[in-house]
Structure 1
Amino acid sequence: MKKVLFIEAAYLKGGIETFILNVAKNIDQKKFELYLLKECEIASIESDFLALGGKIIRITSFSENKIRYLKDLKNIIKKYNFDIIHINKNSLSNPLPIIISKKYKVPKIILHSHNTNPTNGNASIRVHNFFKHKMKKYNLIRLACSEKAAHWMFNDNDQYDIIKNGIDVDDYKYSETSRILKRKELGIDDQLCIVSVGRLSKQKNPFFIIDIFEKILESHKNSLLFMIGTGELESELKSYIVNKNIEKNVKLLGSRNDIDELLQAMDIFLMPSLYEGLPISAIEAQASGLPMLISSTVDNGVILLESTEVEKLESIPEKWAAHLLKLYSKSIRKNTADVLRKSGYDIKNTVHLIETIYSQ
């Protein structure tokens, strides 16, 4: 049995955490013993990962104490003798897992790109670009969720493979019965329901989502906006909503384990992100048959259905609102599971590729 360490899980659940959990749920654990590295006291997917038979390893936070983090990392890698270290990253602002894994001769080191920008500012971009160049000399297995994510993380001559962010398609398959039941549970009658899924962070553009929705309310006064996710902007966002006097129409649902059911109840999905790799939430929305409007900065590889359309990020809220309503008016909800499978987004396909890479 091969020992695999996933790096790393954060306090808030995002695309990386969802990917790791989806792999852990479906991988052959008779062949692979799974470990998860966390810097926080309680990782977002910790209980689920443990329930699947995985093991959790705590490390000092890199941002809080870099020297202690380095010492911990060395001790962990020496102690456990991992066969594979699968490093899932948005950027190379912290290259130490790669450097230390190489130093201690871990047999297989995977660098997996999940985004097209760091999550913490311009300073990280400069650090990322510096270490990106330094990574040329490292013999790594390079994976990315999209071409844009690959170009962000890797150098021009680096060899890499695209691993699609697969999901359990059947969990999201559209059902009119499920839709009726969930809308009843949520207290929804015939209102137009708009949904966004993602961390309440700058990347996801949450204040702009509110601005767009405010314009929707001008013509659809009973509309509801459901925002699924938590993040550092949550408190500020709540004040922004109250100041606009639309708190009765905006539902901040926090982190949820029933996203597949919630998507059944919705009418349209909104994603005006500043940047994205290839967002799992967009795959989930299309698997549920939802029409979706995304920003021009989102990798167009995410577009799997005719009911997914693009609006320029710089467009004003009025234009976004008009486009959203037009898309909603012409869309017919249907079962899209087979389209997702044929496009390679079934988690079984993703895990087969991962297992092949681990076993080589």
Structure 2
Amino acid sequence: MIRVLHFVSTPAIWSGVMSVIMNYYRHIDRTLIQFDFLCFSQCEDSYADEIASYGGRIYYVKKPGSSIEAMIEMNAFFKKNKGQYQWLHNHEVYLSLYLWKLAEHHNFGNFVIHSHTTRYSDNWLNARRNQLLCYPIALMRSNKIACSIAAGEFLYGKRMVQQNKVFVLYNAIDCQKYRFNHDKRAEIRSSLSIQDKLVVGHVGRFEKQKNHDFLIESFYFLKKQYSKSVLLLIGSGRLKLTMQQKVKALGLEGDVFFLGQQNDIQDWYQAMDLFWLPSTYEGLPMAAVEAQASGLPCFLADTITKEVELLDTTKHLTLKKGPEFWALEAREKVNIIKREDAWRKVENAGFGIERASVALQRYYLNEGVK
């Protein structure tokens, strides 16, 4: 059996990266390949129980670079676990050089870097730091994965992608799980008393990247045009309170639902009529794939790769024209309701987890891109 050690900041349920990893973990052949996790940030709401049920383990260390103690602790971990893993799969790209050197020193196995995004950070100072830390990646003898061509070109450069030296592994999902369900739609809408409403939805953490300011302002203008409309916001995050205050200031308190983190996210897509994702950047947003699998017409910011445009009803809109433009465009989508077969189209576009997990399995077994 091949054991893979995933290095990721946290095993939290709200983590988009962990959501991607867990989708693959659930569907990969665990008699051949087993996952463990090395993290530096603990949390209560995590995948710990599910990981344990699959035979996986989670190890915690101090954040690398935070202190001399952290460096000693990491070195001790690698020394102790030498020979246990065939792969070290790194999702924290700014720590790639440090981890690569540790892995080389301890002969830890194959090393792979995984690019999940197209920007180094929301924070200017962190972005400059991470950019500097990522410069050596181009010179490192390592395997390279990206969630999209755009994410690959961002971190590794166009030439690497064009020369097929980057394995593009989409953020795949169980498409049939998101298949449109009339009964679930009626149930969710009834529970919120929004049966006769135009329902705009969004799934994402309340962080700067997701651009909730723009989203809420767009809905404000839509509400002016179409009074029977509501906005469902699913997710948690640091800016949630700020956005709640913004909703109150705009007089939208009864029309915007802050639904928090939801485990049955596939059910909530059924209740929506439109899906908006005005992110300032993304690698390849899983929420957009999920929304399309449920047949939702989607508005995606033009900052998001067109690789995720999987249905005819999906549209990339510029952020430069402002929130009112998004609201005007939304009115044209109100009557689009045929959604039943969308999941098959998304699956056939290469985003089905069954085929994608087999591709990742082969990658591990064949020791990367040859």
Shorter-chain-normalised TM-score: which range? over 0.9
Quote how far apart the aligned CAs of 1:290 are.
Answer: 0.5
Q: 1:239 to 1:47 in 2, by over 3 A?
A: farther
Equivalent residue number for residue 192 of structure 2: 186
Query: What does residue 5 of structure 1 align with?
Result: 5
Within 1, Cα distance between the matches of 2:293 and 2:336? 18
**Compared with structure 1, are the counterparts of its residues 156 and 129 closer, same or farther at alpha carbon in structure 2 (3 Å cutoff)?**
farther
Change (3 A) 1:94 1:110: closer
Match of 1:17 in 2: 18
Q: CA, structure 1 residues 67+322, in 2 after alignment: closer, same or farther (shift >3 Å)?
A: farther
Q: Name the stretch that deviates more: 14-23 or 118-127.
A: 118-127
Counterpart of 1:239 (choices 234, 245, 260) is 245
Cα-to-partner distance string for 1:259-299 (whole Å, 9 max, x where unaligned): 10100111110001100111111000000000000110000
CA contact (8 A) 1:196 1:226 kept: yes
Percent identity over the alignment is 26
Matches within 5 A, 1:138-217: 138-158=140-160, 159-217=165-223
- Which shifted more, 46-55 or 237-246? 46-55
* One-letter code aligned to 1:132: C
Look up the match of 1:279.
Answer: 285
Aligned twin of 1:338: 344
Q: Which moved more, 1:95-104 or 1:228-237?
A: 95-104
Q: 2:323 aligned to 304, 317, 322, which one?
A: 317
Query: Aligned pair 1:88/2:94, yes or no?
Result: no
Q: Aligned-pair distance for 1:12? A: 6.1
Q: Does the CA-based 8 Å contact 2:13-2:19 persist in structure 1?
A: no
- Aligned-partner Cα distance in 2 for 1:337–1:62: 41
Shift of 1:353: 1.1
Q: How many equivalent residue pairs? A: 358
Task: Give the distance between the partners of 1:309 and 1:52, measured in 2 at CA.
Answer: 39
Q: Distance in 2 between matches of 1:312 and 1:187?
A: 33
Which residue in the other structure is 1:357 paired with? 363
TM-fit CA distance, 1:332: 3.2
- Please say if residues 268 and 290 of structure 1, whose CA atoms lie closer than 8 Å, have aligned partners that are also in contact: yes
TM-aligned CA deviation for residue 74 of structure 1: 1.9
TM-aligned CA distance change 1:230 to 1:68, over 3 Å: farther
| C-alpha distance in structure 2 between counterparts of 1:248 and 1:116, whole Å | 36
Q: State the Cα deviation string for residues 130-181 of structure 1 (Å, max 9, x = none).
A: 2333123321110101111011111454321111111011110112222222
Runs of 4 or more above 4 Å deviation: none
Partner of 1:137: 139
| Equivalent residue, structure 2, for 1:76 | 77
- Confirm or deny: 8 A CA contact 2:3 2:34 kept in the other structure: yes
Which of 116, 128, 143 is the aligned partner of 2:130? 128
Cα shift at 1:95? 4.2
For residue 172 of structure 2, give the secondary structure of its aligned residue in structure 1: coil
Contact 1:307 1:331 in 2 (8 A): no
| One-letter amino acid of the counterpart of residue 256, structure 1 | Q
CA offset at residue 221 of structure 1?
2.2
Distance 1:343 1:310, change over 3 A: same
Q: 1:330 Cα deviation (Å)? A: 4.3
TM-score, L = length of structure 2: 0.91
C-alpha distance in 1 between matches for 2:295 and 2:21: 24
Coordinate RMSD, CA, aligned: 1.9
